[in-house]
Amino acid sequence: MPLDIKADIKVLVVDDSAVVRKVFTEQLSKQRGITVVGTAPDPYVARDKIVKLKPDVITLDIEMPRMDGITFLKKLMKHFPLPVIIVSSLTAKGSKIALEAVSLGALEVISKPSAAYSVGDMSIQLGEKIRAVYGAKLMPLSTPKIENKPMAAIQSKALTATTNKIIAIGASTGGTEAIKKVLTRLPANSPGIVVVQHMPAQFTTSFAARLDELCQMNVLEAKNGDTVTNGRVLIAPGNYHMVFKRSGARYYVDIKKGPLVHYQRPAVDVLFRSVARYAGANALGIILTGMGKDGAVGMLDMKKAGAMNIAQDEKSCVVFGMPKEAINIGAVDYVQDINTIANKAISIIEKG
């Protein structure tokens, strides 16, 4: 989705690796609409360069000397909020930290290649994310709440009979928090839910585990052949497409590789198109915040197959790209604030 900007997006690269800083500077500056205005080996140097260079976007490593990326991010979002992309080695431990960074205000996460010489290979993807977060709405950082129990969810006895209904959700930039707001408001007896959120491998494991702690439903990172059933949420694993299928009365998912769709794997369109084919009018589609148009055509296929669809409204989106595209092509039945989507979804399902 092209940006209407008069000048290049100014990027500050914060990473303790000199090789990474050099490669990012060279590769990103070759891309349309992006200029790396500076680099920093640690948060202390970054702080001074932010004041001097006034970057539009920051790429931030998590593990750095003198001050870790999480501590720096907290200070940054409190005193000088800017769009931040976490670029880090997402091991199991690192992905949990990256998830914390997202809850603190980081807008995107990208996995750093294990070999320094291959960093340039992911520069195109990083460039897309930089364009995605540029100009995004930044939510003010408040004191983090201790999330040790699920929030009050909707209560509905009528849902116990909806054994053949399913909900399909797609999101990208800003989507982790949006998905959390929807799922934590749904009751334990909700129809089976399948979710695609644009994110790298490893991160989805921690994301699903965290949601499982907060939600009344059971939340899992999807595995090939997993059944889609009431009370269960399946999150597409990073770097794999998730395809919805049916065998007799049983709904299940296929997890597979395949070409990128809209530069993404997993892709929302892959999920939504399969839901249109195998669930039809038994499905409800929800498209949330994110850049680009992934999910729009798939959601239109769902609507043509008889599904009802909800899009997050512009005011509550971090980036209004994906919902806007779906709305523009006539794929959406309802446009809702993020805090009302769960209620609307249950209302639609109860009415059959």
Question: Which residues are part of the catalytic machinery?
Answer: 172, 198, 294
DSSP state, 261?
Answer: B
What is the length of the chain?
352
Name the residue type at position 135: G
Q: Cα–Cα distances in Å, from 197 out to 8, 56, 85, 107, 186?
A: 28, 25, 16, 13, 18
Say how far residue 335 (Cα) sits from the centre of its chain.
19
Q: Give dist(CA 293, CA 325) in Å, integer.
A: 6
Q: Cα–Cα distances in Å, from 135 out to 3, 36, 83, 84?
A: 10, 17, 8, 11
Q: Give dist(CA 289, CA 66) in Å, integer.
A: 35
Spell out the SS3 assignment of 111-125.
Answer: ECCCCHHHHHHHHHH
Q: What kind and span of H or E run contains 343?
A: helix 341-350
Q: Number of H helices and number of E strands within the chain?
A: 11, 15
